Structure 1
Amino acid sequence: MSVNIENLGQLERKITLTFAKADYEKIRAARLQKLARTVKMAGFRPGKVPMKMVEAQYGLQVDFESQFDHASNLFSKVAQEQQLKIAGQPRLEPKGDLTADPVVYDAMFEVFPEVKIGDLAAAEITKYTTEVNDDEINKTLEILRKQRVHYHPRGEAGPHGDGGGSLVAATGDQVTVDFIGKLDGVEFEGGKAENFAFVLGEGRMLPEFEAAALGLKAGESKTFPLAFPADYHGKDVAGKTAEFTIVMKKVEWPHLPEVNDDFAKSLGVAEGVDKMREEIKKNLSREVARRTQTLLKSQVMESLTKLCELDLPKSLVAQEQERLVAQARQDLQARGIPNAKDAPIPPDLFTPQAEQRVKLGLILNELVKTQDLAAKPEQIKAEIEEQAASYEDPKEVTRWYYSDPKRLADVEGLVLENNVVTYVTGLAKITEKAVSFEELSKM
């Protein structure tokens, strides 16, 4: 066997593999013998077809398969001997006739690029800080109260009162209505309902509909015009004005639970209000740490892609495009889109995203290798314990992570990225900026 390596471009290479037919003859003979045991031909029982007939019908196919496999093995051996860093899968192509001796194959492939790490001290990064104070805890409690809201009929006395004595529908009330809509005096599809419930002020209904319901008492009705927006999802009524009549069936006012020990118990905190506030603060602090780290990581990754130079292997970009296409099809399937698995999604749609991911992945690999930033077992353990701490049974969550190599690999990747963030921020120009929890949530 002789080997010739050609440089076809910045990353493209070609190896010409030349070998004698005798080199794979044993493989070929074994394939034919295996095939002969199962091949079916008219007039012969399975396994009794003469080898000459098997050879005549399948010889060229077996020749190609045997040659290709032998060429693949040779390529792997040459790549290892030459210490080639292969990016993606090689493309093997035969040169000449299948019956030629010696056999010649061209193997086209790409090598990994040289990654030039730029001056990381030139990176400018903002580090956000957020204080979790009593105001943030109170806002969270208010959200928790609203999540546990229940409704009582207006005007009816009960353990929580009568809603202030008023019988008319107000913002925040849950109302139940019958309604019917007509276009030019004719009912339209989707324009009629009975015992339809919604909460005033949540924006679930069009503004004119909510405005008509406000101020009505149970038993009262109102007829009003309603102009559908031009971009309304119902194409038959989009941009048109309908006449609606609503009949108020029920008006219920909202009751929010008080923040007391019973409320704490309903949240699974048996120790009472003080412990509940303490747990909320811990959870908010974890959320702050997660969000600020995400913002920091995003800036670090953006800086790395700007400051580092490298050529992108086309094969890796193509693989990433295909992965993103598969992911898009899975998302469509999850949404119930018919025939989503066969959706014609052009890979070119994902070219910028694929190039960005491949570039960043190669940069991270280089930093991890040269700066010893690989995730250590104790770091992985600490990250899992941190994530598990917010659950009711942290030990069970920890076991869940360690029971699946893929889950463990996901955590390892997260720790690795955090190590890179720590390394880069240690060199970059850092500006600290304090923001509120609300501001942080919107970033």
Structure 2
Amino acid sequence: MTVKETLNDGLKRGYEIKITAAELDAKVLEKLKEAQPEVEMKGFRKGKVPMAMMKKQFGPKVLGEAMQESVDGAMNTHLETSGDRPAMQPEMKMANDEWKEGDDVVVNVSYEALPVVPEVDFSKIKLEKLVVKADDESVQEALTSLAETAKNFDDRKTGSKAKDGDQVIFDFLGKVDGEPFEGGAAEGHALELGSGQFIPGFEEGLIGVKAGEDKNVEVTFPADYNAEHLAGKVAVFECKILNVKEPKTSEIDDEMAKQFGAEDLAGLKGQITSKLEEEYAGAARAVTKRALLDELDKMVSFELPPSLVEAEAGQIAHQLWHEDNPEVEGHDHPEIETTEEHTKLADRRVKLGLLLAEIGQKAEIHVSDAEFTQAVMNQARQYGDQARQFFEFVQKNPQMQQQIRAPLFEDKVVDHIVEAAAMKEKEVSKDDLQKAVEALEEE
């Protein structure tokens, strides 16, 4: 078996792998001998089938396996010896399209090698960390917002009609075709009109009711309702109105604070302050990260694999096209051409991606199973009742797992660099931080 270099131009590599017919035949014989003890054939005891018959029966299949294993083995040995890391899956092609058993196997291999990434002196990177303190006005705004969500309800004057936003206390019995259905009845139920808790049309049907009044509300269950026996059916709800209440915003006091798990108002203010400053710190980190990536982009230069840049530019163009054409959900659309701007952005992304990967590898940075699981859980919460299905999808989808791990790894590498960089804190206002964040979105 021989491996001969045929191309060495920049990052482009080409090799000819040759496996002689004798080597391949020996490989086939070896595999047949390994299988022989377990082979049974009519007229022969288990393990006693003659090799000639074994070769006639299983030879073609084993030949294909032996050929693939030999080529893969030669390629792996070459990569270990040369230290090359292909940027993408190497392209392999038989040199002789008319190959037949008994011929030598010659395979042409081509790929682009990942470049040598230069070292970076992190201490030469100068960064600014924006610090924002939660002011009294921001805390008060948050308290007012909480008070609105923690609103109570007071009885309306006798005879008052229910308005949108009011709370109606009522008994109800739902019927389809004159017959009650399971889950369609309740007593003393409290419903805030306009909250969307009931099926469309129900809450609107209670607008204008008074305490002590009986009201029949007719609605149609949605065609995709989760209870199939009710989907698309017309139902009548017999409602007995017990009380009508108007909303009243909670007082900002110790009692309201207890509704949110705090001991008193001072404790709630402390929680809000911590939460706001945590949010500010997250936004400031995004600003610092962008500044760091900009610095690395300017500091480091090396040759990039054209195939990676081309693939990244294509993904960018495709993503931006769909953002401009949100009505097209699938991929049945005209071919999307990449522009110079797409390629320029792809250059930056590929360079920084390779650089951060190299830094992370040298620093032995890894995403632990616990960190990965926590990230999956955070994403799963967005799917509500479908969280379990999302978990199962991630478990079966290696590509999705990589999509979740990649940003976790990148953030850990960024933190590693930031720790060694020259960092200077700068206290700014909330508005200044907001402008800095908006500037990121505009780029």
TM-score normalised by L of structure 1: 0.56
> RMSD in angstroms over aligned alpha carbons?
6.2
Which residue in 2 is equivalent to 1:239? none
Stretch moving more, 142-151 or 433-442: 433-442
Stretch moving more, 37-46 or 204-213: 204-213
Which residue in 2 is equivalent to 1:289? 281
Going from structure 1 to structure 2, the CA distance change for 1:107 and 1:197 (only over 3 Å counts) comes to farther
Q: 2:104 aligns with which of 96, 102, 105?
A: 102
1:277 aligns with 2:277: no
Write the deviation string for residues 307-360 of structure 1: whole angstroms up to 9, x where unpaired.
Answer: 988454259949x98xx9xxxxxxxxxxxxxxxxxxx978999998x9999866
Deviation at 1:71, TM superposition (A): 1.7
Going from structure 1 to structure 2, the CA distance change for 1:303 and 1:433 (only over 3 Å counts) comes to farther
Aligned pairs for 1:213-224 (under 5 A) are 213-220=206-213
Which residue in 1 is equivalent to 2:193? 200
Mapped to 2, the partners of 1:41 and 1:19 lie a distance apart of 32
Which residue in 2 is equivalent to 1:249? 241
Going from structure 1 to structure 2, the CA distance change for 1:223 and 1:26 (only over 3 Å counts) comes to same
1:172 aligns with 2:168: no
Deviation at 1:253, TM superposition (A): 4.2
Which residue in 2 is equivalent to 1:334? none
Deviation at 1:281, TM superposition (A): 0.9
- The question of whether the paired residues in 2 share the 8 Å contact of 1:169 and 1:213 is answered with yes
Which residue in 2 is equivalent to 1:41? 41
Mapped to 2, the partners of 1:197 and 1:259 lie a distance apart of 24
Q: Secondary structure, in 3 states, of the residue corresponding to 1:69? A: helix
- The question of whether the paired residues in 2 share the 8 Å contact of 1:317 and 1:355 is answered with no
**Structure 1 residue ranges without an equivalent (≥5):** 117-124, 156-162, 181-185, 188-192, 236-241, 325-343, 388-405
Q: Secondary structure, in 3 states, of the residue corresponding to 1:435? A: helix
Q: Structure 2 counterpart of 1:217, which letter?
A: K
Which residue in 1 is equivalent to 2:390? none
Write the deviation string for residues 201-251 of structure 1: whole angstroms up to 9, x where unpaired.
Answer: 44678999867644431344789999x9xxxx879xxxxxx9x99967353
**Structure 2 residue ranges without an equivalent (≥5):** 119-126, 179-183, 225-233, 319-329, 375-401
Which residue in 2 is equivalent to 1:340? none
Deviation at 1:277, TM superposition (A): 1.6
Aligned pairs for 1:110-189 (under 5 A) are 110-112=112-114, 131-145=133-147, 155=155, 167-175=160-168
Q: Structure 2 counterpart of 1:285, which letter?
A: E
Mapped to 1, the partners of 2:110 and 2:150 lie a distance apart of 63
Mapped to 2, the partners of 1:206 and 1:300 lie a distance apart of 51
Which residue in 2 is equivalent to 1:313? 307
Q: 1:415 aligns with which of 402, 412, 434?
A: 412
Write the deviation string for residues 367-392 of structure 1: whole angstroms up to 9, x where unpaired.
Answer: 4489x6879699999xx9xx9xxxxx
Deviation at 1:421, TM superposition (A): 7.8
Q: Structure 2 counterpart of 1:30, which letter?
A: E
Mapped to 2, the partners of 1:299 and 1:424 lie a distance apart of 12
Deviation at 1:55, TM superposition (A): 0.9
- The question of whether the paired residues in 1 share the 8 Å contact of 2:16 and 2:108 is answered with yes
Deviation at 1:199, TM superposition (A): 2.4
Which residue in 2 is equivalent to 1:56? 56
Q: Secondary structure, in 3 states, of the residue corresponding to 1:63? A: helix
- The question of whether the paired residues in 2 share the 8 Å contact of 1:4 and 1:15 is answered with yes
Mapped to 2, the partners of 1:106 and 1:64 lie a distance apart of 17
Q: Structure 2 counterpart of 1:18, which letter?
A: K
Q: Secondary structure, in 3 states, of the residue corresponding to 1:47? A: coil
Q: Secondary structure, in 3 states, of the residue corresponding to 1:93? A: strand
Going from structure 1 to structure 2, the CA distance change for 1:37 and 1:224 (only over 3 Å counts) comes to closer
Q: Structure 1 counterpart of 2:286, which letter?
A: T
- The question of whether the paired residues in 2 share the 8 Å contact of 1:126 and 1:433 is answered with no
Which residue in 1 is equivalent to 2:70? 70
- The question of whether the paired residues in 2 share the 8 Å contact of 1:15 and 1:108 is answered with yes
Going from structure 1 to structure 2, the CA distance change for 1:378 and 1:359 (only over 3 Å counts) comes to closer
1:363 aligns with 2:351: yes
- The question of whether the paired residues in 2 share the 8 Å contact of 1:24 and 1:66 is answered with yes
Going from structure 1 to structure 2, the CA distance change for 1:225 and 1:14 (only over 3 Å counts) comes to same
- The question of whether the paired residues in 2 share the 8 Å contact of 1:64 and 1:98 is answered with no
- The question of whether the paired residues in 2 share the 8 Å contact of 1:169 and 1:216 is answered with yes
Which residue in 2 is equivalent to 1:435? 431
Going from structure 1 to structure 2, the CA distance change for 1:166 and 1:9 (only over 3 Å counts) comes to farther
Mapped to 1, the partners of 2:102 and 2:347 lie a distance apart of 42
- The question of whether the paired residues in 1 share the 8 Å contact of 2:16 and 2:107 is answered with yes
Deviation at 1:167, TM superposition (A): 4.1
Q: Structure 1 counterpart of 2:76, which letter?
A: S
Going from structure 1 to structure 2, the CA distance change for 1:303 and 1:103 (only over 3 Å counts) comes to same
Going from structure 1 to structure 2, the CA distance change for 1:305 and 1:46 (only over 3 Å counts) comes to farther
Mapped to 2, the partners of 1:348 and 1:7 lie a distance apart of 36
Residues paired across the two proteins, number:
358
Q: Alignment identity in percent?
A: 21
